[in-house]
Amino acid sequence: MNHCASQPTGVLLRVPLCVACVVLMLMGCTTVPATEEPQAGGGFSPEVVTESFFEDLQRALQDPNLQQEETRSFWAERLSGYFAPAERDTQRLALRRALASFAAGLRQLADDETAIFEFRDFEPVEKIADDGERALVRLPSATISMMLIRTNERGSYVFYEQTISLSQVIGRPDGTVPVINIDGRWYLTEG
């Protein structure tokens, strides 16, 4: 749960900012050449790497210290580790920008407002294609929910709620996530 104070703005301005942050994190970016960095991260199966990425993404978005640059850098580094080594530098930069944008959106909340951002129905991850080198996984029921809660002297109440499917966020109509096998480990990839 995140709560940040700042000047109040309209709900319609805040909601697209939060959704845009997630879109930036999940959409493809241009790859960069592989560096000498070791091939850490990833996962032992297409399903595990995908599930772990989204679990960590949710933790990042719920981190109460996300306003701090160090915290955003930690999460950008951790999340980029799920991507293929040749894509990490680009993903790390995109994730840093997206997390900074998300934190800026949270700062727009009024003193009496709280944002709750939840990933729902992300399990089980379903593998729909696998040729040993590349695979596609899908999270068939996955949704992302955002609630804005206002608290006053009579208690708390939800004054805005939006739920969207994962396929809307990642921009792939079939809701699939591509993964690649490099030296026996699976990584998220841009395609």
Roughly how many angstroms between the first and final C-alpha of the chain, as a whole number? 33
> What pLDDT score was predicted for residue 124?
82
35 falls within a domain: no
Residues of the chain with pLDDT under 70: 1-40, 171
CA 145 to chain centre: 12
Which range marks the domain in which residue 66 is found?
11-27+42-181
88 falls within a domain: yes
Give the model confidence (pLDDT) of 108-156 as tens digits: 999 999 998 888 887 788 999 999 999 999 988 888 898 999 999 999 9
Q: CA 109, CA 5: separation in Å to the nearest integer?
A: 6
What is the reported pTM? 0.76
The total number of structural domains that make up the chain? 1
> What pLDDT score was predicted for residue 142?
84
Q: CA 57, CA 93: separation in Å to the nearest integer?
A: 15
93 falls within a domain: yes
37 falls within a domain: no
> What pLDDT score was predicted for residue 40?
58
CA 69 to chain centre: 17
133 falls within a domain: yes
The DSSP-derived string for the chain is -B--------HHHHHHHHHHHHHHHHS--------S------BSSHHHHHHHHHHHHHHHHH-TTTTSHHHHHHHHHHHHTTB-GGGHHHHHHHHHHHHHHHHHHHHTS-TTEEEEEEEE---S-EEEEE-SSEEEEE-TT-EEEEEEEEEETTEEEEEEEEEEEHHHHHT-TT-EEEEEEETTEEEE---
62 falls within a domain: yes
4 falls within a domain: no
33 falls within a domain: no
